[in-house]
Amino acid sequence: MVKFLSVGLLAVVFSAPVVAVDYMEHDGILMNHGDGHLMDMAGGMVMGQNADVLPGGCDSISETKEITVHAGHKYAEKFPGRMFAFDTQEFRFKPCTKLTVHFVNEDKIRHQWMMHGLPKYLYPKGMFHLEISGPAKISGTLILPPGDKTYLVHCDIAQHMEKGMKAQLKVGEGDGDLPSIPGVTANVVVDDYKVSLPELIATAEAEAKIAAQTPVVALAAAKSVTKTLPPQQEGFFTGMTVIGLALGLVAAPFLARKFKGMSASEIIATIFEWLALAIDRVTKLCSSLLKLILSGKNKMLPKS
Ligand SMILES: [Cu+2]
């Protein structure tokens, strides 16, 4: 009996760590890069993190919510023709909700939970974005804007959204539904499994023939265009380049002395001062020349 119990105890002790390291936790190891951008060396990334700045139009945080979103191939199994999906396709929150998203990627590839259309003054590129190579978990927080609006949430890895990893997040009443949300709205491009394989092959072959002919036509057209064009001026050093280089060489030591110890803004300010001075001098020169010519004309007039 004691033997049996100790074997049982050993089994529990040794299996516990295996269960615990099911997926990697990234929340504690993220480095803050500023502007709500956090990342770690293991491929975890949070963008648009905002736990304390209220969006314009929010007087206070209306609610504090926490959700866990799972992502993976297995959640797409119930959607015919889809390959990836989140476990939830529609989220609803009150305006001005402080929302923490725990994103659990269950696939051994990279997935994202990317939200679009947020105010750009608060969220870079209008995005809040969690990204991780799985199996792993990553978390981030944002404060939702006021008003009724439907936001797109998707995975932006090539073809993952088209293959089903797409959802909508409604703030307040939302402002309609987005297309092609698995199980929620109809696909914009409906999959068609009725066409037979021989038909598909015939179409593909016809398209390949057209594609093979196109570059030849394009090449011929390009050749005829080059023939009609006048020969272009060649050579690396044009007259203007040489003049510019010479002026630069003469001016460089003077400028180096002048700008020594100045900050970038001071240098720019000095250059603008010089430009203003130069424009002023040229204007004065022009007006005095004009005066000279006009006065000369006036003197000439009585003679004729
Ligand atoms: Cu993905």
In 3D space, the residue among 213, 152, 148 whose CA is nearest the CA of residue 179 turns out to be 152
Helix spans in the chain (H): 2-20, 197-228, 239-259, 264-303
Per-residue confidence (pLDDT) for residue 13, from 0 to 100: 44
What confidence tens digit (pLDDT) does each residue in 25-41 have? 777 678 888 888 888 87
109 assigned to some structural domain? yes
167: CA distance to ligand 1 center in Å?
12
37: CA distance to ligand 1 center in Å?
20
Report percent pLDDT > 90 for the chain: 48
What confidence tens digit (pLDDT) does each residue in 93-135 have? 999 999 999 999 999 999 999 999 999 999 999 999 999 998 9
19: CA distance to ligand 1 center in Å?
25
What confidence tens digit (pLDDT) does each residue in 49-85 have? 999 999 999 999 999 999 999 999 999 999 988 999 9
Confidence of residue 20 (pLDDT cuts 50, 70, 90): very low
165: CA distance to ligand 1 center in Å?
7
Give me the domain span that covers residue 55. 21-171
113: CA distance to ligand 1 center in Å?
8
Q: Give me the CATH number covering residue 141.
A: 2.60.40.420
Per-residue confidence (pLDDT) for residue 283, from 0 to 100: 84
Find all residues with CB under 8 Å of 26, minimum gap 6, and list them: 40, 42, 44, 132, 136, 137, 138, 139
Backbone angles phi, psi at 99, to 5 degrees: -115, 125
226: CA distance to ligand 1 center in Å?
46
What confidence tens digit (pLDDT) does each residue in 175-203 have? 999 999 999 999 888 777 777 778 888 88
142 assigned to some structural domain? yes
Per-residue confidence (pLDDT) for residue 268, from 0 to 100: 78
Q: Are 284 and 272 in contact (CB under 8 A)?
A: no
Whether pTM exceeds 0.75: no
295 assigned to some structural domain? no
63 assigned to some structural domain? yes
193 assigned to some structural domain? no
Per-residue confidence (pLDDT) for residue 265, from 0 to 100: 74
Q: Residue 2, by phi and psi: left (phi above 0), alpha (psi -120 to 50) or beta?
A: alpha
35 assigned to some structural domain? yes
112: CA distance to ligand 1 center in Å?
6
145: CA distance to ligand 1 center in Å?
26
Find all residues with CB under 8 Å of 7, minimum gap 6, and list them: none
Inform me whether the pLDDT recorded for 148 exceeds 90: yes
Per-residue confidence (pLDDT) for residue 272, from 0 to 100: 80
97 assigned to some structural domain? yes
Q: How many domains does the chain have?
A: 1
148 assigned to some structural domain? yes
